[in-house]
Structure 1
Amino acid sequence: MKKLVTVAGLMLALGACEDKATTTTETAGTAESTASAPYEMNADALADHVKTLASDEFGGRAPGSPGEELTVRYLEAAFKEAGLKGANGGSFIQEVPLVSIETQGTPAMQITGGVGENLDLAYRADQVTWTRREQNDTEVHESDVVFVGYGINAPERGWNDYEGVDVKGKTVVILVNDPGFSTQDPALFEGNTMTYYGRWDYKFDEAARQGAAAALIIHDTKPAAYGWGTVDSSWTGPQFGMVRDDKGASLSELEGWITTESADRLFAKAGLDRAALSSAATAPGFKAVPMDLKFSGGFRSEINHVQSRNVAGVLEGSERPDEYFIYMAHWDHIGTDPTVEGDGIYNGALDNATGTGGLVELARAYTSAENPPKRSVLFLAVTAEEQGLLGSAYYAANPLVPLERTVGGINMDGLNYYGPTHDVTVVGLGNSELDDYLKTAANNRSRVLVADQEPEKGYFYRSDHFELSKRGVPMLYPNSGYDHIEKGRAYVEGLVAEYLANRYHQPADEYQDSWDLNGAIKDLELYYATGRLIIDSDVWPNWREGSEFKALRDEQRSGQ
């Protein structure tokens, strides 16, 4: 059992006033109280949470499924037992209305024109396709095909892949990630670090804004950050979305992914060199290329409206109860695929039964502390992260506590399962002054912060903190370290590579007795200490200069 340092008195040696956040590594403070709390977070308790939430009984915790009901009941009971109060007017539940749209059958995709015979792409083997429109019948017939490079329109960067081309009613073919990754030029976008323009959701939304009837992204494992198996598991079955007033009419009729091999066949049919055009698309001033091909695709969809739920508990602050710090994690996973032979349950043990269990352990630690936190602490378990951060997006648009009174937060999406590390990975390190508090807490534990090891994968845009971040609230997204205290870096890198290749978004993401969750407890202790440094102070950490979120936060806080 690992001991948690949990007591008040985690005071900051800061003289900053409430409306002026001037945190630095030097001023964030170094002293922490050493008195203990009655409850010590421990690996056995965390393992029990994970085993339950990731059990076959919970069926992969898909929104709207019986697994959601079991999960919500489990979390509500755990929050109550910990001593939290319901954050939604006394209730622990925030209803999240979603629409489920599921492609039926095996949709065909055909390309005509160009060189040779018609090109037919097989569902799931060559392509995955769906619609986000609330409609039973989807059909795009003989739509002109246009290659639009990375499909980016970024006026502030002087970049517009759609300039000079009208794609209304047409099918656009798009490269994944952004030009900086391909060239590794730090002066182009953010070099190896993916920007939001590299994300699939941005590309589909921009294609819709341009009026495209269909949008197809070319899958490539390295720039996408996951293999085709993840595409196949994540974009088949029920696809959840926010309920839109126009029922999705403003979106493209059809969206999808195609494999790299299928893209090669597509470009060859057009008499074009895919590799050469992909290279040309990395240069400023690239012009979209009409492919002189016709695209046809269609399918039926089953539409269902689902009332999913966020689960939120709060511990009221002793001195400033109207100011809040958030700990958050997503409780959902992919669910069960009945078409898979054998094990079709996507248990989601690491992703994210670990983070959800960690949320409960943090709640227990806070409510048992000898001195209560001075600010209020919100514990937020959100739904439908795997479907596009929908639960956190709904919370950010309909917050249970005012965003302008939310001082910041920590998001947990996958905890350490391989033992204690010297380092702590911070996705988005350098974005906000919250880093200074995490660094102080880490230094006090002889640990160091390191930047995201794989910035090209765009992890900052792929978890729930992003929805609060883009509405101005400073958020931390720390992850497990890589430098194992006893076994070194190569040991962890091997485990991570195996997980990403064989378990991520696969039925094999199950709890294993070989896991060493003591590293997760060390990380939770760190997150607790970081939170107390902020919660028991009167400072308001901000985004750093140059962040795309700072202006919004400044405006948000200007009236406080």
Structure 2
Amino acid sequence: MKKMFLPMLVPALLGVSACTPSNDTTTSNDDSAKSMATASNFDDVYNSISDADIREPLKVLASDEFEGRLPTTEGEKKTIDFLVSEFKKAGLKPGNGDSFLQKVELMEITADADMTMTIGDNTFAYKKDMVASSKREQNTVSLENSELVFVGYGVNAPEYNWNDYEGLDVEGKTVVMLINDPGFENPKGGKFQGTTMTYYGRWSYKYEEASRQGAAGAIIVHETAPASYGWSVVANSWSGPQYGLVSKDKGASRVAVEGWLTLDAAKKVFSDAGLNFDEEKANAMKGPYNKAMDIAASVTVKNTFKKSESNNVIATLEGSEMPDEHVIYTAHWDHLGKDESKEGDQIYNGAHDNATGTAAILAMAKAYGELTPAPKRSVSFLVVTAEEQGLLGSKYYASNPVIPIENTVANINMDAMNVLGKTKNVAVVGMGKSEMEDYLKSAASKQGRTLTQEDRPEAGYYYRSDHFSFAKQGVPALYAEGGNEPADDETAKYRKRMNVIVTGCYHQVCDEYREDWDLSGIVQDTQMLFDVGVNVSNAEAWPKWNETSEFQRAY
């Protein structure tokens, strides 16, 4: 999919300012966001969305019985059976012909944990200092004394006049690169979009670009702040079974080895190469940069792999007047499964990420099923697999859409929703991108809330969830969630207390359902996004991307 990204988006990016979008972004289509709900019982249905509608499926999905919802496991079977049962109860029809399922062909590759990486005189331990894997369908994949080349941020972005690979031939070599993009730690340099991450800052882009450049290996240096997550997330997420979509070339077009180094390990490597890491990083921020390191890496990845099938789940409420046109809600049902090598708790329950969004989409489906009459356009609910492995379920859907892309009006995404109580504001992820925000502004104002930019645009969350797969296809995609301003003093106290408990649980076994969670914030956001979807499904015109967005639909 990444090969499609540059030709689709570069022309639009040429007009993008390097500045962060303003929080008060509006568009000329603001009138289109006025309430258009035609259902006679809209208000009753809106107000009926309750804590119980979300809490009950949340408890089920995050239970130990579902084993962390890893694709292709017994946990998947239990999950999709539950989802299909709930959609049927809501009165929805199968979204894929006579089936609620869309088969997704996955290639599961598991690297043997008994590996080390040698760079110069240093030997680095798996998960402690480094992780390495391969997307190639080979039993053994090796780098043998592969020459290292530092390529700065590993970015080739013509629209920003930036190419870290310029003048390089990296065939057979291993590239070493920084995480995020050049704007993150040098926002005053006017590069990219300042502290707001672009897609060039994502790890997925960096491996894909290294592959296009012909490198044998690609290693990313981890740093917590620019990555927006700690090393434990890397160690947990890039070890164990790794999934990709089935490819015709069996992964041959990918670099042989994809890896990460901790910051401490990287500093040792640079020092052994006679380089100062901090100085080289500073050079990489200033402009396109690369340098031979005169040091080599060796690692052997022993793979077991198997082809498997997972499932996206799709359900549809047929539109009353324009049934061929669809508004699509998305959430991902999957998480990380379990790690039987761990002592004690072995299950990554994924309660917040993303049993919350999956439970909310079921509450949303129930609400739509109660509208009389149904919205003018069809509304579909797509609950995808393998998001944690690189948005694979939504990528597969975008390449093999059940509903033609040209009939897909808009996408609304629901991921890791707010368990910290009601808020006065709504955090818009990727603020300023489309007219979907006009509908959101209207829905939020009914709740007395205002739109603000997400807390950490530098983390690049717009490129890290399933709506991104739709955006790349030109479909206006909205991702918004409860903000950081508690609704009242009691909520502020609760929020402070709960933050202490849940902080650090992202992709950890402690991401578990808690009976004392205040789900009123999820109810609030579910009602708001219900309002958005109903109005988009009844509007005369389709929403558009804003002119400054890097995404555009070919109208």
- Tell me the TM-score normalised to structure 1 length: 0.91
For residue 80 of structure 1, what is the aligned residue in structure 2?
Answer: 88
For residue 143 of structure 2, what is the aligned residue in structure 1?
Answer: 140
1:245 paired to 2:253:
no
The correspondence of residues 449-468 of structure 1 with structure 2, limited to 5 A, is 449-468=451-470
For residue 159 of structure 1, what is the aligned residue in structure 2?
Answer: 162
Select between 25-34 and 243-252 the one with higher mean Cα deviation: 25-34
Please tell me the residue identity of whatever aligns with 1:513.
E
CA distance in 1 between counterparts of 2:487 and 2:47 reads 26
Query: What is the SS of the residue equivalent to 1:369?
Result: coil
1:349 paired to 2:351:
yes
Among 39, 45, 52, the alignment partner of 2:53 is: 45
CA distance in 1 between counterparts of 2:314 and 2:546 reads 29
Contact 1:482–1:489 (Cα < 8 Å) also in 2: no
For residue 303 of structure 1, what is the aligned residue in structure 2?
Answer: 305
For residue 402 of structure 1, what is the aligned residue in structure 2?
Answer: 404
For residue 284 of structure 1, what is the aligned residue in structure 2?
Answer: 287
The correspondence of residues 106-145 of structure 1 with structure 2, limited to 5 A, is 106-112=114-120, 118-145=121-148
TM-aligned CA deviation for residue 306 of structure 1: 1.3
Contact 1:38–1:368 (Cα < 8 Å) also in 2: no
For residue 378 of structure 2, what is the aligned residue in structure 1?
Answer: 376
Contact 1:180–1:190 (Cα < 8 Å) also in 2: yes
| Alpha-carbon displacement from aligned partner over 1:67-113 (angstroms, at most 9, x marks no partner) | 0000000000000110000011121000000000000132110012x
CA distance in 1 between counterparts of 2:89 and 2:502 reads 35
**Cα distance change of structure 1 residues 142 and 400 upon mapping to structure 2, 3 Å threshold:** same
1:542 paired to 2:550:
no
TM-aligned CA deviation for residue 257 of structure 1: 0.6
| Alpha-carbon displacement from aligned partner over 1:358-387 (angstroms, at most 9, x marks no partner) | 111011000111221111000110000000
For residue 6 of structure 2, what is the aligned residue in structure 1?
Answer: none
Contact 2:197–2:458 (Cα < 8 Å) also in 1: yes
Query: What is the SS of the residue equivalent to 1:36?
Result: helix
1:100 paired to 2:108:
yes
**Cα distance change of structure 1 residues 166 and 490 upon mapping to structure 2, 3 Å threshold:** farther
For residue 393 of structure 2, what is the aligned residue in structure 1?
Answer: 391
Among 520, 530, 533, the alignment partner of 1:531 is: 533
Contact 2:171–2:216 (Cα < 8 Å) also in 1: yes
**Cα distance change of structure 1 residues 50 and 236 upon mapping to structure 2, 3 Å threshold:** same
1:432 paired to 2:434:
yes
TM-aligned CA deviation for residue 146 of structure 1: 0.7
Q: Which runs of 5+ in 1 are unaligned?
A: 1-21, 113-117
CA distance in 2 between counterparts of 1:538 and 1:65 reads 44
CA distance in 2 between counterparts of 1:119 and 1:329 reads 43
CA distance in 2 between counterparts of 1:489 and 1:119 reads 50
Contact 2:195–2:457 (Cα < 8 Å) also in 1: yes
CA distance in 2 between counterparts of 1:466 and 1:41 reads 27
For residue 225 of structure 2, what is the aligned residue in structure 1?
Answer: 222
CA distance in 2 between counterparts of 1:495 and 1:165 reads 52
The correspondence of residues 194-233 of structure 1 with structure 2, limited to 5 A, is 194-233=197-236
Contact 1:205–1:251 (Cα < 8 Å) also in 2: yes
CA distance in 1 between counterparts of 2:52 and 2:95 reads 28
For residue 315 of structure 1, what is the aligned residue in structure 2?
Answer: 317
Among 166, 170, 173, the alignment partner of 1:170 is: 173
Query: What is the SS of the residue equivalent to 1:212?
Result: coil
| Alpha-carbon displacement from aligned partner over 1:172-204 (angstroms, at most 9, x marks no partner) | 110000110011226211000000000000001
Q: Which runs of 5+ in 2 are unaligned?
A: 1-26
1:484 paired to 2:483:
no
Percent sequence identity is: 47
1:423 paired to 2:425:
yes
Contact 1:39–1:365 (Cα < 8 Å) also in 2: no
Query: What is the SS of the residue equivalent to 1:231?
Result: helix
The correspondence of residues 9-48 of structure 1 with structure 2, limited to 5 A, is 24-30=29-35, 35-37=43-45, 40-48=48-56
Contact 1:438–1:527 (Cα < 8 Å) also in 2: yes
For residue 296 of structure 2, what is the aligned residue in structure 1?
Answer: 294
**Cα distance change of structure 1 residues 198 and 449 upon mapping to structure 2, 3 Å threshold:** same
State the aligned residue count.
526
For residue 449 of structure 2, what is the aligned residue in structure 1?
Answer: 447
TM-aligned CA deviation for residue 538 of structure 1: 1.6
CA distance in 1 between counterparts of 2:164 and 2:490 reads 44
Contact 1:396–1:467 (Cα < 8 Å) also in 2: yes
